[in-house]
Amino acid sequence: MNPAPNLVLVGPMGAGKTSIGRRLAERFGLQFVDADHHIEQRTGATITAIFEHVGESGFRERERCALSELLAGEGQLVATGGGAVLDAENRRLMRERGFVVYLSAGLEAQMKRLARDRTRPLLQRADRDQVLRDLALAREPLYREVADLSMDTDGLTATDAATRLALQLASRWNFGGVAA
C-alpha cells in the first residue's frame, strides 16, 4: 500500500480528472484542487491567455511551480492538467507526494466530452482528433510511468467512475496511515 499524503489524478483532456476528482475528494474528505484553476487564480489570467502571452513553455513553467506548491501540502486531491507529466520534476513530485491515478479515455470518448469545449489552447485547431492522437502518443507512456493505479473511464458517468475508483483505492492507497 502506498501511504502517500495526496491523491493525484493524471490523464488526457476529457478523461474526467475534474469531475471524478470532485466526487472522490468529497467521499474521502480531501480538499479538491484543480491545478489549472489554481494557476489561473495565482496568475490572474486564464490558461488561454497564458498560452497566448508566454506560450506553452511559459505555461509549463507556471504549472511546475504550482504543482510544487500544491504537492508540498497534504490531504488533497490534485487534478493535474493533461500535460503535467511532460516535466520530469513534476513526475518525481507526483510519485513522492501522491498516490497517482491515471484516468484513461479513448479518442471517441474524449471527442464527445470535449465537443463544446473552446477553452483548451491545444485544441484550438480544426483537426482536434489528430491533436488528441498526437498528445496520447507522446503522453500515454508518461501517464503509465507515474501511475500507481490506472482506470479507463470510457462508458462511465463521473459518478460511476468515482464509485468504481473509490473501491479500487480502498485496497491500494493508505491515506494518513489508514486505508482509504
Q: Is 14 annotated as a binding residue?
A: yes
Q: Say what the alpha-carbon torsion angle 96, 101, 102, 104 is, to the nearest 10 degrees.
A: -170
Is 92 marked as a binding-site residue?
A: no
Residue 16, annotated as binding a ligand: yes
Residue 82 assigned to a binding site: yes
Residue 18 annotated as lining a ligand binding site: yes
| Long-range pairs for 125-134: beta carbons < 8 A, 24 or more residues apart | 132/12, 132/13, 132/14, 132/107, 133/107
- 72, with CB counted inside 10 A (0-12, 13-18, 19+), is exposed
29 marked ligand binding residue: no
Report whether 34 belongs to an annotated binding site: no
**Is 36 among the annotated ligand-binding positions?**
yes
- Determine if residue 19 is labeled as part of a ligand binding site: yes
Annotated binding residues for ATP, written as ranges, equal 14-19, 120
Annotated binding residues, written as ranges, equal 14-19, 36, 60, 82, 120, 139
Annotated binding residues for substrate, written as ranges, equal 36, 60, 82, 139
Annotated binding residues for Mg(2+), written as ranges, equal 18
